[in-house]
A and B are shown apart, each in its own frame.
Chain A
Amino acid sequence: MEPEKKADAPFNAKDLIKPKRFLGLHVDKQNIIKWFFGSNAGVTIVVLFLIMFFLAREGVGFLPTYQWELSVYRLAGLEFCDYVEKPISEQVAMHSKLKRALGAELNTVSKVDRDRRDAALLAKSRIEDKVTLQTEPLQEALKAKAPPEKTDPLRVALTQATTAAVSTATLPAIFTAEEQIQLKAELSALQPDQAELPPFLKSLMAKSAQKTSEAKLKYAALISTVDAFDDTAEKLTKVHSEIKKIALETKEAANQLHMAEDAKKQLLEAATTAKTEAEKQAFLKDAAATSLAAIDFKVRTQPLRDKLPELEKLIPEYITAIKKAAEGIPENAETPEARKLISQVRTQLPKHLSHVEQCTQLMRDWDYAKPVPITQSLTSFLFGGDWITNSSWQDFYGVVPLLTGSCLIALVAMLISMPFSVAAAIYTNQFASLREQDFIKPTIEFIQAIPSVVLGFIGISVLGDLIKSISLLPFLSWVPGFPVQERLNMFNAGLLLAFMAIPTMFSLAEDAINNVPRAFSEASEALGATKLQTVFKVIVPASVSGILAAMLLGLGRIIGETMVVLLVAGNRIAIPDFSDGIGTVFQPAHTLTGIIAQELGEVSRGSSHWQALFMVGILLFCISLIINFFARQVVKRFKFHKS
């Protein structure tokens, strides 16, 4: 349009009217586009909400299933047996501690010589391993009673090989130089058909044996105490295993009945949907044939109750026996290890005794028919201390061991990652030059992209051995928990998780610091504060909420990480033994995430175990939501208003 034309018809209101409908429909194109995006968003949101639905669908069934299992546990009398089981296992644990203490004490006398013997034998077997190629033909020849002219070259070859192997072998420093030469000479001359050990080796063996018996003599009192301790529970254990057998049979019967009930239900269902009358009749017939003879738990558990008087008699006997045995435990021991173990036993003993006493009362009060409420399946899931699956006795799904594992690992990871990430964030934002920043930030962000399975692999292949060998360094022996027993442990996993969480924490903390208005630092520096004072008195306090939120989100990442803990944490399902203090972190553990990844692939769909794993998933989901919620609250509460 040219201006002149416009002047001709400036009032053409028809131009404003909407054009024809799109495709002749009463919707226009804009709305279709809007619906397209709207439906996409709808699908996304619906599916994301479905996450909760599917977790709940698979998980909620757990409560009634577990309730049923627990009620069978009670009805069949397994619970009754476990009342005795508990003190017995405590007694076993204490006994093993005493044995370890005894071992430590015996070592004071016998260890040096035994170590010398073992080292020599180890060197011998290593050299033998190296020369197997030469040994084997000689042995064959000897077996075949070959003439000396045939075996001699083989012997020469073997001796050559042995000498070569011996010359490269290094012997530990527990042998003096002279002894080493002697030992090497003896080892070089070894023949496979030798009847007796060479003299030096022989003397080592003899010395060790002599020292061992000396040690036994010296600690005879302790040995007899430990043996007495072992014997105390003998009778109790015997009765216990008897009643266990009965209870297990009852449980088996109950399970059979349950399966039969299910089968019948399915048959009846099939009958209602059957296509032909004949099929229907067949189904009904099968259903009728499924016997559902009820189990009389009262009768079945009677033998257990019959054993009660005997147990009542045995328990006081046991108590007196163990008290007597405990008297023999020495007040003091020579080695620190033994002292520690013995003091542990001493503190455990009163608790143990009270457990034993309680157990009589528990058994008396036990009622097979007492109903198990559904809340109990939830509480025993959340607060149960055992996660036992595929057990021939009874499966328990208590998350406490997993939760403690997850939390301890997270604690280690947080303690390591927090100082590093905050320090790095402060340094990068406040002190680093621009070029340094350009290099630090992308590098740290790059860590985020390292797949967790790769870090897990590093943990298995490198870090585990590294930690173990460091812990063997003598000058580090004061560190609690050193030397480390297990290559794969919570500390190893925590270290890797800390490394994984650093980029998240660093980036968010750095953002928070960056968001502090420049005016703050300018004002502070204008008052004569140094850079460092400004940073720690003005900038960090002003960004503390953001830093806190960063730490919380990092925690969320640590708790939710799966592959590293699955590969590196050691996967021992037990509540860690906290008696080691800080050293506890060098024990292996299992985690919430790890258990799902490890076990879900191997359980049958819909079983109680499957459902329990989904419940663990729900628990994780809730934990992550709570952490997220708190992070948001922290940010909101201390929200920083930019002027």
Chain B
Amino acid sequence: MVTTYPIMMSTVAPKKAESGVATPPAAAPEVSEMASETSSPVSNAIITVKDMDFCYGAKQAMFNVNLNIATKKVTAFIGPSGCGKSTLLRCFNRINDRIPGAHISKGEVRIKGKNINEEDVDLAQLRRQVGMVFQRSNPFPKSIYENVAYGLRVHGESRKSVLDTAVERCLTHAALWSELKDRLNANAMGLSGGQQQRLCIARAIATEPDILLMDEPCSALDPIATSKIEELIFQLSNDYTVVIVTHSMQQARRVADDTAFFYLGKLIEFAPTMEIFSNPRQKQTEAYVRGQFS
């Protein structure tokens, strides 16, 4: 049983409207093939998942997922552990390729209209444009500066001036600049957990991706650090499409424009966040958001 719901992006008032951030106008859709029968077309969808099955070796982990993720919004994936939300997220930059035997067995994932599993897709280019922040903050044991500059350096940027500007811009963006500007050469392993995670976000946006994937970015952090990160996510959604996996419903409610609920490898419900939490259409969703199972 697969049901997807159209994202009524402009009809549902964003829950963070009070922050004064208006939804950016939809860009002209260049993507032609992204419409599918089961998911309503979203005029400015940047990621399109169509009839996707995913397997780890012989074991199927995701079943016939259809999903359109809108540009420059925060989309949250929620669901109990093992429901496949992280798996799906990791499909978007093909980091799942690293796991032996993991593959998409049916359907496709399109980003900006391009099927990213096709032969001629350059992984480096893909990942440059689809950034990712991991569950555990994992800065390299290098200096703060080098951590942020890493992405640019691997893309061949070695001009000091460019790197300096980028580091400042990203750290400012991640609200770290004022804290760290005096010790850019210190080892990043010495930062606190929250700072490390924000540094990872700064590092991820240094390559100026269009999409930022976040895999439970706050699960290892204390409440104060979490609130800082959430604030940051909220800021980031001005410039980036953010997809965040979280096991905290409160967090989804706080940061996400849209929310998708997964259960046992299936997408159960996908709707604006308000709707999911206030008026879920599926029984399972309702049970989950009420905390009846986890």
Q: Do chains A and B touch in the complex (CB under 8 A)?
A: yes
8 A Cβ contacts from A1-18 to B: 1, 3, 6-7, 10-13, 15-18
B77-94, CB < 8 A from A: none
The residues of B that contact A7 with a CB separation of less than 8 Å are 24, 27, 72
Q: Please tell me if B167 contacts chain A, counting CB pairs below 8 Å.
A: no
Instruction: For the complex, give the distance between the alpha carbons of A10 and B238 in Å.
Output: 13
Q: B120 contacts the other chain (Cβ, under 8 Å)?
A: yes
- Asked whether A24 is an interface residue with its Cβ less than 8 Å from the other chain, the reply is no
A275 → chain B closest CB, angstroms: 57
Q: Are B120 and A11 in contact (CB under 8 A)?
A: no
* Count of chain B residues with a beta carbon within 8 Å of a chain A beta carbon: 23
Among A3, A16, A18, contact of B112 (Cβ-Cβ < 8 Å): A16
User: With A and B bound together, what is the CA distance between A271 and B122 in angstroms?
Assistant: 64
Contacts of A12 in B (CB 8 A): 112
Q: Are B46 and A11 in contact (CB under 8 A)?
A: yes
A16 with B238: CB separation less than 8 A = no
Closest B residue by C-beta to A19: B122
Minimum CB distance partner of B30 in chain A: A11
Are B122 and A18 in touch, CB under 8 angstroms? yes
A11 and B121: CB pair below 8 A? no
Chain B proximity of A7: nearest CB distance (Å) = 7
Closest to A1 in B: B208
* Least Cβ–Cβ distance between B21 and chain A, in angstroms: 14
Chain A residue nearest in CB terms to B126 = A16
Report yes or no: B125 in contact with A18, Cβ–Cβ below 8 A. Answer: yes
Contact residues, A303-328 vs B (CB, 8 A): none
Chain A, interface size category, equals 10 to 19
B71 at the interface (CB under 8 A from A): yes
- Cβ-defined contact, A11 with B29, below 8 A: yes
Which of A1, A3, A10, A16 contacts B125, CB < 8 Å?
A: A16
| Set of chain A residues within 8 Å of B46, measured between Cβ atoms | 10-11
Interchain CA distance A3-B24 in the complex, whole Å: 12
Q: Encode B101-121 as 1/0 by CB contact (under 8 A) with A.
A: 000000000011110100011
Q: Which of B31, B114, B120, B126 has the most CB of A within 10 A?
A: B114
Indicate whether B51 reaches chain A with its CB closer than 8 angstroms. no
Decide if B30 touches A17 in the complex (CB within 8 Å). Answer: no
Contact of B238 among A3, A11, A13 (CB under 8 A): A3
Name the interface residues of B18-37: CB closer than 8 Å to any CB of A.
Answer: 24, 27, 29-31
Residues of chain A within 8 A of B113, CB atoms compared? 11, 13
Question: Is there an interface contact between B122 and A13, defined as CB atoms closer than 8 Å?
Answer: no
B97 contacts chain A at the CB level, 8 A cutoff: no
CA separation between A10 and B46, bound complex, in Å?
A: 8
Q: How far is the CB of B102 from chain A (nearest CB, A)?
A: 20
A16 and B208 within 8 A (CB): no
Given the complex, which residues of A lie within 8 Å of B238, measured CB to CB?
3
The reply to whether A10 and B208 form a contact with Cβ atoms under 8 Å apart is: no
CB of A568 to closest CB in B, whole Å: 49
CB nearest to A2 among chain B residues: B208
Say yes or no for B230: interface residue by CB 8 A criterion. Answer: no
Q: Is the CB of B71 within 8 A of A10?
A: yes
**Binary CB contact string for chain B from 55 to 80 against chain A (1 if under 8 A, 0 otherwise):** 00000000000000001100000000
Q: Are B125 and A17 in contact (CB under 8 A)?
A: yes
CA separation between A1 and B166, bound complex, in Å? 11
B239 x A11 contact (CB < 8 A) = no
Most buried by B among A7, A12, A16: A16
- Are A17 and B208 interface neighbours, CB within 8 A? no
B239 touches which of A3, A13, A16, A18 (Cβ 8 Å): A3
Closest residue of chain B to A8, judged by CB?
B27
Asked if B71 and A17 make an inter-chain contact with CB atoms under 8 angstroms apart, the answer reads no
Cβ of A171 to closest chain B Cβ, rounded Å: 77
> Within 8 Å of chain A (Cβ to Cβ): is B286?
no
Contact with B along A427-453 (1 / 0, CB 8 A): 000000000000000000000000000
CB proximity of A582 to chain B, nearest CB, Å = 57
Contact with A along B236-267 (1 / 0, CB 8 A): 00110000000000000000000000000000
* A316 vs B251: C-alpha distance when bound (angstroms): 107
User: Which residues on A sit within 8 Å (CB–CB) of B210?
Assistant: 6, 10
| Chain B minimum-CB-distance residue to A13 | B114
A18 and B121 in contact, given A3-B239, A11-B112, A13-B112 (Cβ under 8 angstroms):
yes
Contact flags (1/0) for B141-175 with A, using CB distance below 8 Å?
A: 00000000000000000000000000000000000
Q: Specify which of B24, B116, B120, B129 is in contact with A18 (CB 8 Å cutoff).
A: B120
**Other A-B pairs beyond A6-B239, A11-B30, A16-B121, 7, CB < 8 Å:** A7-B27, A10-B27, A10-B46, A17-B114, A18-B121, A18-B122, A19-B122
11 contacts between A and B (CB under 8 A): A3-B239, A13-B30, A13-B112, A15-B112, A15-B125, A15-B129, A16-B116, A16-B121, A16-B122, A17-B120, A17-B125
B: residues with CB less than 8 A from A are 24, 27, 29-31, 46, 71-72, 111-114, 116, 120-122, 125-126, 129, 208, 210, 238-239
Closest 4 CB pairs of A and B: A13-B114, A18-B122, A3-B239, A11-B30
